[in-house]
Amino acid sequence: GAVVSQHPSWVICKSGTSVKIECRSLDFQATTMFWYRQFPKQSLMLMATSNEGSKATYEQGVEKDKFLINHASLTLSTLTVTSAHPEDSSFYICSARDRRRQGAFFGPGTRLTVL
C-alpha cells in the first residue's frame, strides 16, 4: 500500500515553456498533498501544501502564479511550472497522505531541466 506515482519522471524543455507534473496516489485517497523542490546536495524545500478541493497554501518565497497547483481529486494533484527558466531546473517531488496515516509517502520525483 501507500504507492504514489509521478509523471513524467524527467523532462527537458526550452526556457519560456510551461511544464505540468502529475502526482497520483494509487491505492489510497490523498486528502493532503505536498510539493517539494530539491536542488543538488540540498534538502527538500516545501513549496506548497494542498488539500483536496481547496486552494494550495504556498510557503514564503514561492510564487503561486509561477507554480500552479491543482488538487482536483483525492488521487491527483498537479504542479504546473509556468514560463520555466533555467533556475527552475530541479528535482520536484510530491508526497501524499490520507486521514489515517501520519507519515507522508513520496512519489519517485520529476527531474526538470530547463534549457
Partner 1 sequence: QKEVEQNSGPLSVPEGAIASLNCTYSDRGSQSFFWYRQYSGKSPELIMSIYSNGDKEDGRFTAQLNKASQYVSLLIRDSQPSDSATYLCAVNMRTSYDKVIFGPGTSLSVIP
In which residue are the cell numbers 502564479 written? 65
For residue 86, the minimal CB distance to partner 1 (Å) is: 20
By beta-carbon proximity to partner 1, the closer residue of 93 and 114 is 93
- DSSP letters for 5-67: EEE-SEEEE-TT--EEEEEEESSS--SEEEEEEE-TTS--EEEEEEETTSPPEEPTT--TTTE
By beta-carbon proximity to partner 1, the closer residue of 20 and 101 is 101
For residue 5, the minimal CB distance to partner 1 (Å) is: 11
Residues that bind partner 1 (CB under 8 A): 32, 34, 36, 42-44, 46, 49, 51, 57, 93, 95, 102-109
For residue 91, the minimal CB distance to partner 1 (Å) is: 8
Cα distance between residue 24 and residue 90, in whole Å: 20
